[in-house]
């Protein structure tokens, strides 16, 4: 029997009706074999990060129970992104997107493989991910960093607004 693991998925979008996209993406995640959505955060509007010449993002987090290994879960996330029209441009980072799904946490596991890094390498620096993460998992710990609450306490949060 495959063990069940609690994982946290970060969702973001800033093209089209991003709020509707995230609501539909929650449903799409729940429709993935081996994935059960346990809890979803509110939606948050945040300014673009990394590349600021684009529309604001809508961000959220889903807490899921999964029987999938980290790589298999990532593959499901990429398939959901593609179903929502996401096209990944080679070498482009932080650009506009129809849907972005990030594997933020996978239990207390640390994964460092080509194309798969868990916890997400910038999670501890991004209030737009930490605030909804703490909403779905109030005692979240980031392996290698400590409590998510401690990480968010030192970050600027004035630009993050619930919808």
Active site residue ranges: 86, 97, 100, 102
Q: Which two tokens stand for residue 63?
A: 């807490």
Sole residue written with tokens 């429709």: 31
- Buried-exposed string 78-95: b where 16+ CB fall within 10 A, e elsewhere: eebbeebebeeeeeeeee
Distance CA(36)–CA(34), nearest Å, equals 7
SS3 content of the chain, % helix, strand, coil (to 5): 30, 30, 45
């Amino acid at each position: 029997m495959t063990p069940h693991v609690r994982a946290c998925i970060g969702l973001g979008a800033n093209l089209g009706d991003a709020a509707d996209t995230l609501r539909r993406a929650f449903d799409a995640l729940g429709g993935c074999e081996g994935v059960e959505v346990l809890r979803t955060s509110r939606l948050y509007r945040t300014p673009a990060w990394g590349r600021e010449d684009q529309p604001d993002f809508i961000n959220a987090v889903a807490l899921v129970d999964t029987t999938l290994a980290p790589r298999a879960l990532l593959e499901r996330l990429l398939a959901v992104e593609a179903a929502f029209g996401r096209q990944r441009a080679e070498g482009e980072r932080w650009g506009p997107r129809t849907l972005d799904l990030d594997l933020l946490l996978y239990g207390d596991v640390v994964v460092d493989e080509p194309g798969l890094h868990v916890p997400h390498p910038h999670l501890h620096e991004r209030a737009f991910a930490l605030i909804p993460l703490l909403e779905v998992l109030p005692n979240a710990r980031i392996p290698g960093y400590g409590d998510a609450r401690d990480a968010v306490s030192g970050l600027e949060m004035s630009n993050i607004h619930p919808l």
